[in-house]
C-alpha cells in the first residue's frame, strides 16, 4: 500500500476496495490477461481506498468483528464456481479450526483474526463433516479469501498489468475535457493531499453512509464523541469491536438496573449487533430492547418443521403472463404482499419467502421496459422490504433471549432520542396494527414495555441513506458538480447501458440501484452473488474502453 501526492497517466482507477471493487478488479485483470495480444505496453491500474485494509470493505474486514457472520448461508451467498473455490479454501483450514476447538490454543495464523473459537464450537460437527454450504460463516474468512484471490490474480497478470494499491480518502472526482477524470483528496481548507488522473474509473464505493438519528439535548462537551453518551450512530465506526468495548465500559459504570440497550431497526446491521453484543450482555446482565415497525420482524424466525411454501396468487399471475398478458410491477408487488400475508397466517413464512425470491427475479422476462423501470425505481425496493431473510446464530440468540426475558421487541418507528441526566430516552410513533401506547408520539419511558429510567445505550440499525440525502462528501461533490446524477429511485446513480454514470466513469455495486436495461432491473445490489454477476458485464465494457483509449493515445504519439 502506498500514498502518492500525485500520480498521472493511469489507465484505470478502481475507487473502493470492498466486495464490489475487488470483484471488479479481479474481472478486469482476467479480461486484460485474456487480451494480452491487444496491448503493446503495460496497463497501469490503481486501487484506491480510504481504509488501511484492502479487499474487504466494511463487511469482510476489521470493521466487522470476528463474531460477525455472513447474512445468508454459504449456499446462497456465492454463485456455483466461486462457492466451490471458497469451499476448497475453507477445506484447507478445516483441521486448523478443529485443532483450535479441541485444545483451545489460539492458532498463530490469520485464522485467529478472522473468527472466534466459539463459532467453531457451535458448528464443530458441520465443520468436521465439511457441510460448509449450510453455515453462516464468519465474514472475515471471506475477506481473507478475497485478499488471496487478488494476490494470485495480480501475480498472474504481471508483465501485462501493473497494479498499485493507494491509501486516500478521495472526496473529489472531476471529469477532464481531454477524457478521463482526476481524483483528489482535498482537506477542509482546500489543500490537495492526494491526486491521480485516470483515463477510466471504476466507482465501487459501496453504499452511502447509514442514516443519522435525530438527537436533542446533547451536552455541548459531548458532541464530538456521542459514544460517551451511549449513542452508537454507526456500529462499524471505527469498527464494531471498538464499539462493543466502549459500550461495555459504559454499562459497567452504571448500576445493573440501568444496564439497558435500545437497538433501532431490523436490518442486517441490527442482527450483526445482536450477535456481537451477546457476550457483553451476558457478562453485564444487560437487557436488550429492539424497536422495529411492528415488533419482532416477520423474517426474524427460524423455519418451522415440515414448513412448505404455497404461492397460489403468484402462480395465477404467472399463468396469465405466460398466456401473453403484460405483467405489471404493481400487480407483482400486490401478489407478493398477499402471499406473505397468507404465509404469516399459515406459519410458512420462511419457505414462502424462499420460493418468492427466485420467482420475482424470473418475473422480469414478462415485463416491458416501462415495468422494468417501475421495478428498478419503486416496486422492486418495496418487494425486497417484504422478502428480507435472516437466519443462523443471530436468530438462535434472539430466540433464546426472548424466551428468558433478556430481549424484548417493541413495535414503533423511531422519531427522536434525547438526553436526560446520564440516560437516553426515545420517542417513537406507533404504526397501524401495532400495540397502542399513550399517543402518536410516545416516549418509551411512558410505555409499559420499556424501562422507566431510559436506556444506557441506543444503537442505530436503520439502514443506509438515500443518495440524494447522503452526507458522503464524494457523492455530494459529484452530484453537486453535475458530474453524475441520482437514479430515479434516489438509491443509486443514473447510468447508461454501459453502466457509466458519466463518460469514462463506470459503476459497480450498490450505486447501480435504480438502473434498468437489457431486460433487467436493479433495485438492490448488496448481495455478493449479484455483484459478481454484474462484475463481468461492467469489466468487459471498461476494459474495452481502456484498451481503445490506449490505442488512440499510441496512434497520436506515433503520428
Contacts of 548 (CB under 8 A, 6+ apart): none
CB 363 within 8 A of CB 332: yes
- Phi then psi dihedrals of residue 95, to 5 deg: -65, -35
pTM score, whole prediction: 0.92
98-104: average pLDDT: 96
| Ordered alpha helix ranges (H), 443-527 | 473-480
Residue showing cell 403468484: 314
Say yes or no to pLDDT of 4 above 90.
no
Within 10 angstroms of residue 208's Cβ, the number of other Cβ atoms is: 21
Cell numbers standing for residue 61: 474486514
| Tens digits of residue pLDDT in 449-465 | 667 779 999 999 998 89
Where residue 447 falls among pLDDT bands split at 50, 70, 90? very low
Cell numbers standing for residue 237: 465506526
| Tens digits of residue pLDDT in 389-418 | 888 899 999 999 999 999 999 999 999 999
| Tens digits of residue pLDDT in 236-286 | 999 999 999 999 999 999 999 999 999 999 988 999 999 999 999 999 999
Rounded to 5°, angle at Cα 152 from 151 and 158: 90
What beta strand segments (E) does 445-552 contain?
457-460, 500-502, 505-507, 515-517, 520-522
| Tens digits of residue pLDDT in 348-379 | 999 999 999 999 999 999 999 999 999 999 99
Distance between CA 133 and CA 54 in Å, rounded?
A: 26
Distance between CA 416 and CA 432 in Å, rounded?
A: 19
Closest CA to 172 of 485, 483, 504: 483
**Rounded mean pLDDT of the chain?**
91
Distance between CA 511 and CA 103 in Å, rounded?
A: 46
User: How do beta strands 260-264 and 457-460 pair?
Assistant: parallel
CB 419 within 8 A of CB 219: yes
H or E element: which one contains 161?
Answer: strand 161-167
442-446: average pLDDT: 43
Where residue 222 falls among pLDDT bands split at 50, 70, 90? low
Where residue 61 falls among pLDDT bands split at 50, 70, 90? very high
Residue showing cell 480518502: 169
Domains with residue ranges and CATH for the chain: 7-57+159-208+469-558 (3.50.50.60), 74-137 (no CATH), 215-300+391-460 (3.50.50.60), 312-386 (no CATH)
% of the chain exceeding 90 in pLDDT: 79
Where residue 99 falls among pLDDT bands split at 50, 70, 90? very high
Cell numbers standing for residue 189: 481548507
H or E element: which one contains 25?
Answer: helix 19-34
Amino acid at each position: 500500500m502506498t500514498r502518492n501526492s500525485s500520480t498521472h497517466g493511469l489507465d484505470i482507477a478502481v475507487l473502493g476496495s470492498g466486495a464490489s471493487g475487488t470483484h471488479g478488479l479481479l474481472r478486469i485483470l482476467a479480461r486484460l490477461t485474456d487480451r494480452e495480444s491487444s496491448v503493446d505496453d503495460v496497463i497501469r491500474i490503481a486501487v484506491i481506498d480510504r481504509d488501511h485494509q484492502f479487499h474487504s470493505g466494511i463487511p469482510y474486514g476489521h470493521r466487522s468483528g470476528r463474531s460477525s457472520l455472513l447474512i445468508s448461508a454459504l449456499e446462497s451467498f456465492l454463485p456455483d464456481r466461486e462457492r466451490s473455490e471458497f469451499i476448497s479454501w475453507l477445506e484447507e483450514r478445516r483441521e486448523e479450526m478443529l485443532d483450535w476447538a479441541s485444545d483451545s490454543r489460539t492458532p498463530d495464523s490469520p485464522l485467529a483474526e478472522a473468527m472466534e473459537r466459539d463459532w467453531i464450537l457451535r458448528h464443530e460437527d458441520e465443520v468436521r463433516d465439511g457441510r460448509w454450504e449450510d453455515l453462516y460463516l464468519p465474514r472475515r474468512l471471506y475477506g481473507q479469501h478475497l485478499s488471496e484471490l487478488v494476490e494470485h490474480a495480480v501475480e498472474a497478470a504481471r508483465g501485462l498489468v501493473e497494479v498499485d494499491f493507494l491509501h486516500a480518502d478521495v472526496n473529489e472526482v472531476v471529469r477532464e475535457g481531454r477524457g478521463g477524470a482526476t481524483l483528489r483528496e482535498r482537506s477542509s481548507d482546500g489543500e490537495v493531499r492526494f491526486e491521480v488522473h485516470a483515463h477510466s474509473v471504476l466507482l465501487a464505493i459501496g453504499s452511502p453512509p447509514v442514516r443519522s438519528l435525530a438527537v436533542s439535548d446533547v451536552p455541548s462537551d459531548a458532541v464530538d464523541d456521542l459514544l460517551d453518551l451511549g449513542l452508537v450512530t454507526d456500529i462499524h465506526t471505527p469498527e464494531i469491536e471498538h464499539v462493543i468495548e466502549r459500550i461495555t465500559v459504559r454499562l459497567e459504570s452504571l448500576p445493573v438496573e440501568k444496564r439497558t440497550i435500545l437497538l433501532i431497526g431490523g436490518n442486517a446491521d441490527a442482527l450483526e449487533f445482536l450477535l456481537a453484543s451477546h457476550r457483553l450482555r451476558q457478562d453485564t446482565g444487560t437487557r436488550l430492547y429492539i424497536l422495529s415497525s411492528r415488533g419482532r420482524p416477520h423474517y426474524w424466525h427460524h423455519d418451522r418443521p415440515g414448513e412448505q411454501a404455497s404461492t397460489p396468487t403468484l402462480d395465477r399471475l404467472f399463468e396469465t403472463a405466460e398466456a401473453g398478458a403484460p405483467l405489471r410491477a404493481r400487480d407483482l408487488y400486490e401478489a407478493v404482499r398477499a402471499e406473505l400475508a397468507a404465509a404469516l397466517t399459515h406459519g410458512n413464512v420462511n419457505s414462502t419467502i424462499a420460493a418468492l425470491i427466485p420467482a420475482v427475479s424470473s418475473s422480469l422476462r414478462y415485463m416491458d421496459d416501462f415495468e422494468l423501470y417501475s421495478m428498478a425505481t419503486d416496486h422492486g425496493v418495496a418487494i425486497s422490504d417484504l422478502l428480507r431473510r435472516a437466519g443462523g446464530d443471530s436468530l438462535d440468540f434472539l430466540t433464546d433471549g426472548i424466551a428468558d426475558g433478556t430481549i424484548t421487541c417493541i413495535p414503533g418507528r423511531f422519531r427522536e432520542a434525547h438526553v436526560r441526566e446520564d440516560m437516553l430516552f426515545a420517542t417513537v410513533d406507533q404504526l397501524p396494527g401495532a400495540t397502542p401506547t399513550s399517543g402518536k408520539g410516545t416516549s418509551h419511558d411512558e410505555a409499559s414495555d420499556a424501562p422507566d429510567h431510559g436506556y444506557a445505550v441506543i444503537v442505530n440499525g436503520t439502514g443506509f441513506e438515500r443518495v440524494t440525502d447522503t452526507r458522503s462528501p464524494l457523492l455530494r461533490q459529484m452530484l453537486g458538480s453535475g458530474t453524475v446524477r441520482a437514479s430515479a429511485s434516489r438509491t443509486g446513480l443514473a447510468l447508461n447501458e454501459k453502466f457509466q454514470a458519466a463518460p469514462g466513469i463506470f459503476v459497480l455495486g450498490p450505486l447501480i440501484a435504480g438502473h434498468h436495461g437489457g431486460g433487467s432491473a436493479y433495485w438492490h445490489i448488496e448481495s455478493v452473488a449479484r455483484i459478481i454477476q454484474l462484475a463481468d458485464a461492467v469489466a468487459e465494457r471498461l476494459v474495452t474502453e481502456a484498451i481503445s483509449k490506449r490505442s488512440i493515445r499510441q496512434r497520436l504519439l506515433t503520428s
